[in-house]
Structure 1
Amino acid sequence: MNYVLVPVLLVLMGLVAFSLIKGIVAFLKTTKIDLETGEGSTATDMQLAQNKAMFARIKYQALAIVVVAIIMAASR
């Protein structure tokens, strides 16, 4: 069972890192747009992308925690 769950955990960890980087890039683009225009209203699309990426990160982290809990329960 661990032979299946460990690769799943590694994939989820990769997805967490990818979502985190994607959210940070969206945040930086939002900040850049705000600084260039001086208005906060032009960056709504980037803010939505940032929120979407961060929600995905939280979802993948929760799934990774569940996989770790299953691995720990199976190793007893």
Structure 2
Amino acid sequence: MNTFLFILLIAAMLATVAMLVRGLAVFLLNASNEVKGEGGGPTASALKSNKMMQYRIFFQAIAIVIVVLILFLAGKN
């Protein structure tokens, strides 16, 4: 059971890093248009970057829950 939880933890951590990198990449690629003041509201790239950061928070929360579960199971033994 612990091996399965460690694999899930690693997967959640990798997903967190992937979403962080992807969100930052989208943000940095399209930041110049926003700095120039083009457009009158949030651009599609800004919304996409925001969605990537929301996914990052979601995967980060999953990783924290898995860590708590691992510590709980280790404390029972």
Deviation at 1:40, TM superposition (A): 4.5
- RMSD of Structure 2 on Structure 1 (CA): 1.7
Report the TM-score, using the length of structure 1 for normalisation: 0.88
Deviation at 1:39, TM superposition (A): 1.7
Whole-angstrom distance in 2 between the partners of 1:41 and 1:56: 26
Whole-angstrom distance in 2 between the partners of 1:6 and 1:41: 46
Q: Residue 66 in 1 paired to residue 58 in 2? A: no
Greater share of helix: 1
Report the TM-score, using the length of structure 2 for normalisation: 0.87
Check whether the contact 1:33–1:42 (CA below 8 A) recurs between aligned residues.
Answer: no
Structure 1 stretches of 4+ with a deviation exceeding 4 A read: none
Deviation at 1:30, TM superposition (A): 2.2
Q: How many residues align?
A: 75
1:65 maps to a residue whose letter is: I
Check whether the contact 1:30–1:43 (CA below 8 A) recurs between aligned residues.
Answer: no
Paired-residue identity, %: 35
Unaligned runs of 5+ in 2: none
Q: Which residue of 1 aligns with 2:38?
A: 39
